[in-house]
Structure 1
Amino acid sequence: MIGQEIGNYQIVSRLGHGAMGEVFLGRHKYLLRKVAIKTIFTEGVDTHVLRTLRQRFGQEGYVQSQLRHDHIVQVEDFIVQEEAYYLVLEYMPGYIRPGNVVIRSVADELQIEARPIPSPRALSLFKQILQALDYAHNKEFDIRGKPHTGIIHRDIKPANFLFADQATVKLGDFGIVKVSGLGAGTRTGFNPGTYAYMSPEAREGKLLDARSDVYSLGASLYEMLIEQTAFAMSGVRHLPPMIGGMEAPWVRKLRAEAPEMVADFILRALQEHPDDRFPSVSQMLTELERVEMLLATEGSEIYPVALSERVPGSEGPAVRRQRERSKSEPDTYADTRPASEVVPKRLEIPPAPAPAEPPPTRLEIQSPPAPAEPPPTRLESSPPPARVESEKPAPAPPTPAERLRVVIQKINLPWALAGVAVVVAALIVHDRFIPPPPPPVLSTQVAV
Structure 2
Amino acid sequence: MIDKGYLLGERYRIIDTLGEGGMANVYLAEDIILQRKVAVKILRLDLQNEPQTQARFQREALATSELSHPNIVSVLDVGTDHGLPYMVMEYVDGPDLKEYIRKNSPLDLREVIRIMDQILSAVALAHKHNVIHRDLKPQNILMDKRGNIKIADFGIAVALNQSSITQTNSVMGSVHYMSPEQTRGGLVTKQSDIYSLGIILYELITGTVPFNGDTPVSIALKHAQEPIPSIRKKDKSVPQALENVVLKATAKDPRDRYASAQAMKADLDSSLDPERSDEPVFVPNHGNSDDETIVLSGFKPQKTNSKEPQKEEKAEAEKEPAKKKKSFWQNVKAHKWWWIFSIIAAGLIIFIMIFALSGNDNKPKQVNVPDVTNIAEKAAEDKLEAAGLQVGRIIRRQSDDVKKGYVIATNPTAGNSLDQGKTVNLIVSSGTSMVKVPDVVGDDYDKAAEKLENQGFDVVREDQFSNKIPQGNIISQSIAAGVEVKPTQTTITLVVSRGRAPRHRSNTVTLKDLHNYSLKSAQDYAREHGLTLQINQEYSDDVEKGMIISMDPGPGTKVDRGSTVAIRVSRGPKEEKETTITKNFTVSYVGSATDSSDKTDNDKDEDSSSSKLSENKGDHVQIYIKDDDHSLNNIYRDLYIKRDMSFSIPFSIKNGPGQLRVVRNGETILNEKVTK
Structure 2 length as normaliser, TM-score? Answer: 0.41
Distance 1:272 1:185, change over 3 A: closer
Contact 2:177–2:195, Cα closer than 8 Å, also in 1 = yes
Match of 1:371?
none
Structure 2 residue matching 1:263: 3-state secondary structure: helix
Match of 2:96 in 1: 105
Mapped contact 2:136–2:177 kept (Cα < 8 A): yes
- SS of 1:232's equivalent in the other structure is coil
Q: Quote how far apart the aligned CAs of 1:306 are.
A: 4.2
In structure 2, what is the Cα distance between the partners aligned to 1:77 and 1:136?
A: 20
Q: In structure 1, which of residues 35, 48, 55 is the aligned counterpart of residue 38 of structure 2?
A: 35
Cα 1:32–1:244 change in 2 (3 A) is closer
* Aligned counterpart, 1:130: 120
Structure-2 residue corresponding to 1:196:
176
* 1:278 corresponds to: 258
- When residues 220 and 54 of structure 1 are mapped into structure 2, their CA distance, relative to the original with a 3 A threshold, is same
Q: What secondary structure does 1:176 align onto? A: coil
* 1:78-157 alignment, distance < 5 Å: 78-94=78-94, 104-113=95-104, 115-139=105-129, 150-157=130-137
Supply the AA of the counterpart residue of 2:99. D
Q: CA deviation at 1:174?
A: 0.5
- Deviation of 1:121 after TM superposition, in Å, equals 0.7
Matched ranges for 1:206-221 at <5 A: 206-221=186-201
SS in 1 for 2:172: coil
TM-superposed CA distance for 1:51, in Å, is 1.0
Task: Tell me, in whole angstroms, the C-alpha distance in 1 between the residues paired with 2:125 and 2:256.
Answer: 23
> 2: distance between equivalents of 1:17 and 1:185?
27
SS of the aligned residue for 2:45 comes to: coil
Corresponding residue of 1:68: 68
State the Cα RMSD in Å: 2.5
Question: Does the 8 A contact of 2:165 with 2:188 survive in 1?
Answer: no
The structure richer in strand per residue is: 2
Contact 1:198–1:212 (CA<8 Å) still a contact in 2? yes
- For residues 239 and 161 of structure 1, do their structure 2 counterparts lie closer, same or farther at Cα, with a shift above 3 Å needed? closer
- In the alignment, the residues of structure 1 paired with residue 279 and residue 165 of structure 2 have an alpha-carbon distance, to the nearest angstrom, of 44
- Distance in 1 (alpha carbons) for counterparts of 2:89 and 2:223: 36
Match of 1:234 in 2: 214
Deviation at 1:177, TM superposition (A): 0.4
Classify 1:244/1:73 alpha carbon distance in 2 versus 1 (closer, same or farther; 3 Å). closer
How far off is 1:244 after superposition?
6.2
> 1:269 aligned to 2:249?
yes
Q: Could you tell me which residue of structure 2 aligns to residue 311 of structure 1?
A: 411
Distance 1:181 1:187 in 2: 13
Task: Kindly state the Cα deviation for residue 156 of structure 1 after the two structures are TM-superposed.
Answer: 0.8
CA contact (8 A) 1:276 1:316 kept: no
Higher helix fraction: Structure 1 or Structure 2? 1
Q: Which moved more, 1:242-251 or 1:175-184?
A: 242-251
Cα distance in 2 between the residues matched to 1:239 and 1:222: 16
**What is the letter of the counterpart of residue 8 of structure 2?**
I
Deviations 1:294-330 (A, max 9, x none): 25x79xxxx564477982353357xxxxxxxxxxxxx
- The equivalent position to 1:17 in structure 2, one of 20, 33, 37, is 20
| SS across alignment from 1:261 | helix
Equivalent position SS for 2:270: helix
Deviations 1:34-68 (A, max 9, x none): 1000122232x494xx2111111111111111111
Query: Are the aligned partners of 2:180 and 2:224 in contact in 1 as well (CA < 8 Å)?
Result: no
Identity over aligned pairs, percent: 29
C-alpha change, 1:62 and 1:173, in structure 2 (3 Å) is same
Distance in 1 (alpha carbons) for counterparts of 2:221 and 2:23: 25
1:246 aligns with 2:226: yes
Letter in 2 for 1:265: V
CA-to-aligned-CA distance 1:219-274 (integer Å, 9 cap, x gap): 01101111111213333434554546211101111222222211111011111111
Distance 2:88 2:216 in 1: 35
Decide which structure has the larger Cα Rg and report it.
Answer: 1
Aligned partners of 1:10 and 1:28 also within 8 Å: yes
C-alpha contact 2:142 2:151 (8 A) present in aligned 1 = yes
2 CA distance for matches of 1:278 and 1:187? 24
Contact 2:250 2:257 in 1 (8 A): yes
Q: In the alignment, which residue of structure 1 is the partner of 2:58?
A: 58
Contact 2:267-2:413 within 8 A present in 1 as well: no
CA contact (8 A) 1:307 1:314 kept: no
Instruction: Judge conservation of contact 1:9–1:26 (CA < 8 Å) in 2.
Output: yes
Unaligned runs of 5+ in 1: 95-103, 140-149, 318-448
Q: Secondary structure at the match of 1:291?
A: coil
Helix, strand or coil: the match of 2:92? coil
**Unmatched segments (≥5 aa) in structure 2:** 283-368, 370-409, 418-676
Counterpart residue identity of residue 315, structure 1: G
Give, in angstroms, the shift of residue 24 of structure 1.
0.7
Establish whether residue 291 from structure 1 lines up as the match of residue 282 from structure 2: no
Aligned partners of 1:162, 1:215: CA distance in 2, in Å?
A: 20
- Output aligned runs, 1:355-434, within 5 Å: none
Aligned-partner Cα distance in 2 for 1:257–1:236: 32
Structure 2 counterpart SS, 1:165 = coil
How far did 1:187 drift? Answer: 6.0
> Normalising by structure 1, what TM-score?
0.60
Cα gap change, 1:248 to 1:185, in 2 (>3 Å): closer
- Given that residues 152 and 180 in structure 1 are in contact (C-alpha distance below 8 angstroms), is that contact kept between their aligned partners in structure 2? yes
- Write the distance in 2 (CA, Å) between the matches of 1:19 and 1:257: 41
d(CA) in 2 for partners of 1:221 and 1:16? Answer: 25
Between the aligned partners of 2:187 and 2:180, the Cα distance in structure 1 is 11
Distance 2:153 2:124 in 1: 16
What are the superposed Cα offsets for residues 357-391 of structure 1, whole Å, 9 maximum, x if unpaired? xxxxxxxxxxxxxxxxxxxxxxxxxxxxxxxxxxx
Equivalent residue letter for 1:83: G
- 1:224 is matched with which residue? 204
Q: 2:499 aligns to what?
A: none
Task: Kindly indicate whether the alpha-carbon contact (under 8 Å) linking 2:135 and 2:156 is maintained by their aligned counterparts in 1.
Answer: yes
SS of equivalent to 2:144? strand
Aligned equivalents of 1:273, 1:196: Cα separation in 2: 18
In structure 2, distance between residues paired with 1:70 and 1:244: 34
